[in-house]
Amino acid sequence: MKFTIYVHSQKVFQETIMPKSEPDFQKYEINSVKSAIKVIEFLATGDILGPRSLQDISSAVGINKNGVYRILCTLIVSHWAEKTDYGFRLSVDGLIKHLVYAQNYLTRLSDQYGLKLKAPMPHSRA
């Protein structure tokens, strides 16, 4: 698999990653975790601040409404999602968590490979 990083449409790093002989990870999957990831990914697409109805989420991810509701309740308790008068959406806390995780990953990657990021990271005062 080829891994490429672009910054402002310029290729700054490329590496080919060869898969190691690992066990078949699919046989260790946890279905409830896969389902929760589907819901998070759906909420993170399109208008991420726009609430989605339970029916819309259920139809999009292929999980019955009861299952989706239970996942959403777990995400709400964990501050990854929130319920509005019009439906469900990712919470601001959840969005910030995504950004912080991505920022930390990119920082470690740039440090590891000596890359210089052209855009200042959100926490910098540049």
Phi-psi group of 53: left, alpha or beta (phi > 0 → left; psi -120 to 50 → alpha; rest → beta): beta
Domains in the chain: ranges and CATH: 36-115 (1.10.10.10)
Three-class secondary structure of residue 124 per DSSP = coil
CA–CA distance, 115 with 109 (Å, rounded to integer): 8
pLDDT digits 0-9 by tens, 29-79: 999 999 999 999 999 887 877 899 999 999 999 999 999 999 999 999 999
pTM of the predicted model as reported, rounded to 2 decimal places: 0.67
Say whether pLDDT at 24 is over 70. Answer: yes
pLDDT digits 0-9 by tens, 91-111: 988 888 878 888 888 888 888
